[in-house]
Amino acid sequence: MAIPSIVNWLNDDIDNGNIASALYVTELNQYPGLIAIGHCSIEAVDQLETDVKLGRLRYVTSADPEICEKRSNLSLKDCWLGEQFLLYQLSDYRELIPQGENKENQNYIEAIKLPETGSSRFIEWIAETSQKIFCDPLSGYKLCLDSLVTTSRQRLLYDELKKDWTCNN
C-alpha cells in the first residue's frame, strides 16, 4: 500500500492518487481560533460542512474560480502535496491536538492557530498560495518540492522528475 509521502509522490505511487480531490481549510468546532488544512475526494467536499468536528469551511479549491478556470480537477496526490507545503510554510503556527483517550496510541490533529488579528488575510494567503501551486502545476510542484525535498533519495528522484519536465516542455 503506497501511502502519501514525498518519495511516493515523486514515483507517482500514491494509492488512489489520481482521484479528483480538493484541498480545504476549515475551522475546528471544539477549538476556537484553530483551523485545519486537509484534502478529500471531490465527492466528500459536501460532507465537510456536516462533520460535527469541523466548523465553518473557510476555503476549498473546488470553489476557487481561478483554479477551476485553469484546471478541470485536482488529483488527491497533488492536493496532498499542496497540503504538506502549506503545513510546512505555516509550521510556526502549528498546534497538535490529541485525539482519543488511549495515551499509548495517541492520534493527533494537526491544526494551525489563526493570528489574533488578520485572520481573514491569513486565509487569503492560503488561497493565494494554493492558486500559485495549482494554476500552473509545473511551477507549483517545483515551489512545493524545493521546500519539501530533504533527503538524498528524494533529491535524486526529484532531479529525475525535473529532467522529464524539461524534456516534455
Which triple of cell numbers denotes residue 24?
A: 480545504
Chain-wide mean pLDDT for the chain? Answer: 91
Residue-wise pLDDT tens digits, 32-55: 999 999 999 999 999 998 888 899
Residue 49 CA to its chain's centroid (Å): 18
More confident residue, 144 or 102: 144
Alpha helices in the chain (DSSP H): 6-10, 45-48, 65-70, 76-89, 119-135, 137-148, 152-168
Distances (CA, A) of 96 to 41, 87, 107, 113, 125: 24, 12, 9, 10, 22
Q: Please name the residues in contact with 31: beta carbons below 8 A apart, sequence gap of 6 or more.
A: 97, 111
Q: What is residue 101's predicted lDDT score, i.e. its pLDDT?
A: 59
Q: What is residue 3's predicted lDDT score, i.e. its pLDDT?
A: 87
Q: What is residue 103's predicted lDDT score, i.e. its pLDDT?
A: 56
| pTM for the full predicted model | 0.91
| Residue 102 confidence (pLDDT) above 60 | no
Which triple of cell numbers denotes residue 96?
A: 497538535
User: Distance between CA 132 and CA 78 in Å, rounded?
Assistant: 13
| Residue 70 confidence (pLDDT) above 90 | yes
